[in-house]
Amino acid sequence: MPVQKLIGNLKRIDTNLILRNILNKPDVKAYIIKLNHEQLDRGEDRNENRMRTFKAKLEGSNAVYAQTTIKGTPQFLGKKEKSQDWKHLTLKDSGDFRKTFKVDVFQDFFRVDGDENKPDGKISDNVNLTNVYNLSEVNTNKLIAFIKPRFYFELHRIANI
């Protein structure tokens, strides 16, 4: 291939467009959500900080839930009695919240989002959701490794190498 044609092909490449197209693939979106759920399973936000409820913070303990949530009250069973994880705030008690997670792809970034509304109020009334959505640095690197072969394939295809 003549050098001038190769240069012309390379100038036409819009890397943001390639990335948007890859990130919009259903399997890539599903992988992003899976990585986000894995963070939550560890009780971590995107900054790899341990998540805690507002009530637990107010109590001044190192617990991630309020003591009444862990131990229960005469009116409701606690997490221990229900055999639920009480050492990590995972946001998956019923799973309904996590089922609403979706990936929105924009011009030069993507965002994970979900519907925090529950019958008994918003999740953000009890937990800071600011850093819950999106990926940690570790998981961002996993995503890069996952999409890199597709990106290179598209570069080669467009450049006609």
CA–CA dist 45, 60 (Å, integer): 20
The set of residues, in sequence order, having a beta carbon less than 8 Å from that of 110 and lying 6+ positions away, is 23, 32, 103, 104
Q: What pLDDT is recorded for position 87?
A: 79
124: left (phi over 0), alpha (psi -120 to 50) or beta: alpha
CA–CA dist 90, 113 (Å, integer): 16
CA 146 to chain CA mean position, Å: 15
pTM score: 0.84
* Arithmetic mean of pLDDT, 118-130: 86
CA–CA dist 108, 19 (Å, integer): 8
pLDDT digits (tens, 9 = 90+) for 59-102: 877 777 788 888 888 888 888 888 887 777 888 767 788 899 99
Q: What are the extents of the domains in the chain?
A: 3-48+92-120+129-159, 52-87
Q: What is the dihedral of CA 43, 84, 67, 53, to 10 degrees?
A: 30
CA–CA dist 10, 160 (Å, integer): 9
pLDDT at 153 over 90: yes
